[in-house]
Amino acid sequence: MLQSSQQGSLRFFALLSGAIAATASLALFNITGCCLVRAELQNSPKALVDEVWQIVNHDYVDGTFNHVDWQATRQSLLSKNYTSREQAYTAIQEALKRLGDPYTRFMNPEEYQTLTDETAGETSGVGIMIDKKEDTGQIIVENVLEKSPAFKAGIKIGDEILVIDGKSTQGLRWEDISKLLHGQVGTPINLLIGRPLHRNFQLKLTRANLELPTVNYTLKSSGSKRIGYIRLTEFSATSPNEMRRAIQALNAQHVDGYLLDLRDDPGGLVDSSVAIARMWLNDGVIVREVDRMGNTEVSKADQTALTQQPLVVLVDGNSASASEILTAALKDNNRAVVVGSQTFGKAIVQSVHSLSDGSGLAVTVEHYFTPKGTDIGHKGITPDVRIDLTQTQQQQLEANPTLFGTQSDPQCTRAIAILENV
């Protein structure tokens, strides 16, 4: 999860593939002895290296830096000559590895921009989500956003993107493909599309501003019960408003209970997680965060819950960080029954900083604890009702995501049965 910190950076709980916040201002710190070095390094790759070192030195959650001599690391970094940004990037990555923390990581400008767009909940483009096949290198359309330029032009799931603005997608890196698809709102983009059993065809589209939905909901009838099913895929900046609209729409349909599906949700923004927890909880602690100095920040419910109807939460091994914060808050406060598989177990907080050349840095700055004081790190949350999918069941759901929340979804079926008996 992400939220603004006092230094103007952003904090988040997310998997390695998780996203960062919509905006992140440059966080520079006045550390004794650094000013002369900064002046000498202005406009050189070394400036970026030192910028990263200073942020980690100021913020990193472990004051021993994994028992690494961090001052000696700085001297080593600044003793080298870097002839390109790429050399500086490599040096930064090698230095961060010594911390032994996969969540403290450097992102090049393309990676940083992509992740920023995701958790901002909006981006510019044509509205397609793509997947690169490892065996063939094909770029396949995985999803098409409704009302997007791609949707209006008739692009379908399963189409292959062959050429983007005259450049073949074969052999291109993922970052290069993403960069070609994105661009300024209002600019044109030309695609060559391949479709099974059809001849290849050209499409000229215009990039638009797109909202990336993170909440889907529907009304399910089971026996005499009306159940509101809500699936949350990520905690982005727009997720609280989306969740609020979903709960209000289902309230208007007089549901008897709710099923909140957090499976495969890797996390996102801190503020979004807390805001969504408050929509379900009237009272109680949501999360406790502790920094390296032992300072504690406690987030609580504030009497703004939108419903008191029975609630079941669905989780699995890919439910992480922000998902675990929300799940633990609802579980520890006896607000929900948790169903599914053991969660991921990520109990640390990152601060995300934009760097002077457009790249980004995520730094672990805090540990968090559940309302009952539990550290779920590397352990996860144990569901109240544990039901693990078989490998075959998991593969079926992954191959056809539309089966989530249906009778072909064993975890969902069990959750609905619980709500029927409340």
Catalytic positions: 321, 332, 346
Nearest partner of 263 among 414, 411, 419, judged by Cα? 411
The helix-helix angle for 239-251 and 270-280 (nearest 10°) equals 20
Q: Is residue 1 within 8 Å of residue 267, measured between CB atoms?
A: yes
Token digits of residue 233: 């895929």
**Which residues neighbour 29 within 8 Å (Cβ) at sequence distance 6 or greater?**
7, 54, 55, 58
Amino acid at 257: G
Distance CA 68, CA 53 (A): 13
Distance CA 3, CA 270 (A): 5
Tokens 């289902």 correspond to: 250
The C-alpha torsion from 94 through 98 and 99 to 103, rounded to 10°, is: 40
Helix, strand or coil, per DSSP, at residue 249: helix
Nearest partner of 209 among 120, 319, 127, judged by Cα? 127
For the chain, helix, strand, coil in percent to 5 are 30, 25, 45
Q: Is residue 75 within 8 Å of residue 328, measured between CB atoms?
A: no
Q: For residue 20, how many other CB atoms are within 10 A of its CB? A: 30
Helix, strand or coil, per DSSP, at residue 72: helix
Q: For residue 231, how many other CB atoms are within 10 A of its CB? A: 22
Question: Beta strands 139-144 and 225-232: pairing type?
Answer: unpaired
